[in-house]
Amino acid sequence: MFLFLLLMYLYLVLNNVKIVKQQKQFATYLETQESSWLQYVLHGAAVTTEMIPKNEGSYRAVETIGSRYFRLAKDVEIHTRISEFTEQYLAARYKKQLRSHLWSVRMNALRYIGMFGLTSLLPECRQLLKGNVSKEERFEIIKLVILYAHASVFEEIVNPKQQMTSSEYKQLFMMLKNKERFALFAQLEGIPPLAQQALIEVFIQLRDPQMLQAAEQLLQSEWEELRIGGLKLLSEMGGVVSLETLEPFVASPSFVERMYAMKSLSAIPFEATKRFLEQGLHDENWHVRRQAAISLCTSEQGKMYTKWFIKESNDRYAVEMASEILKLKEGNKQ
């Protein structure tokens, strides 16, 4: 027991000495090389011998300086200089870290490889995908492949070995080129539901008018989730479709389809949609009634009709909703 405690004490003392030494190396490098880095990054000055990291503390200092300039500066030349420096002097370090048994060390390497754009290490990163890597590592590698290898990752998206979150899917889809997003959309029924929703959200965010025709095609899908996605795309992007196309959704068993149908009707002239929007006001679902009232009040004709409806209708719930939305719309106008 005494021997064990003694060994533990020695380990803690030596480890503390090591940490203090690295901290000193880190501070010394920052103090002595900040100005050299400034000249190199901003003006392309030559790399001095002193700038080349030689120990753990100086390696970490370079990572700190490099990542700071990468985040703050948007200039391509600055990014290129940092990438060239780290490719030459840090790539071997990260290559070794990728083989570490420690997850935190491998993740640290992947994040810096991605930040600095160290393309020479892409083969090693892609090789990791063939092994047993964590969900977080896989996601970082897929991002690297999209950004720097410009290679297809459809298989990783269509048949992921580990489920991704909606946020992660969105990050990946935003990184894809437009033609790649459209190619993925063409096989929408074959990708996970969470990925389907994320891709639709990305198209809504990008507001690409080329998407409207594809969105209309989704309305013919046998899958409710995809029909809803098509309706959502059309309504959020203000796409105009024929009344005949929307009419089946006005009486859909799904309240979500009915709600987005009501929203899409606002893009069609009032006289053609009046009876469908009034039908929406009488809907049993609160969300559908609200959206019908909002769509009615988007035009002056619709507002006039809403006022008439409030006076004449015996449907208390429809009248309450119509009154609330009309008041909001007219209040905003004032």
pLDDT at residue 13 in the model: 52
Contacts of 185-194 spanning 24+ positions with Cβ under 8 A: 185/211, 185/214, 187/154, 187/158, 188/218, 188/226, 188/229, 189/221, 189/223, 189/226, 190/158, 191/157, 191/158, 192/158, 192/160, 192/163, 193/225, 194/163, 194/164, 194/165, 194/166, 194/169
Between 57-66, 101-110, 131-140, 208-217, the lowest mean confidence (pLDDT) is in 208-217
Q: What is the pLDDT of residues 173-221, one digit of tens each?
A: 888 888 888 888 888 878 888 888 888 888 888 877 777 777 788 888 8
Q: Would the pTM count as exceeding 0.75?
A: no
The better pLDDT of the pair 257, 145 is held by 257
* Dihedral (CA of 6, 12, 17, 22) sign: positive
pLDDT at residue 304 in the model: 93
* Dihedral (CA of 45, 49, 51, 53) sign: positive
**Interval 304-330 mean pLDDT:** 92
- Cα separation, 218 vs 227, in Å, equals 5
pLDDT band at 3 (very low <50, low <70, confident <90, very high): low
Residue 9 has pLDDT above 60, yes or no: no
Residue 149 has pLDDT above 80, yes or no: no
Measured from the Cβ of residue 76, the count of other Cβ atoms closer than 10 Å reads: 8
Residue 237 has pLDDT above 50, yes or no: yes
pLDDT above 90: percentage of residues in the chain: 46
Q: What is the pLDDT of residues 38-91, one digit of tens each?
A: 999 998 999 999 999 999 999 999 999 999 998 888 888 999 999 999 999 999
pLDDT band at 334 (very low <50, low <70, confident <90, very high): very low
pLDDT at residue 10 in the model: 61
**Interval 125-131 mean pLDDT:** 86
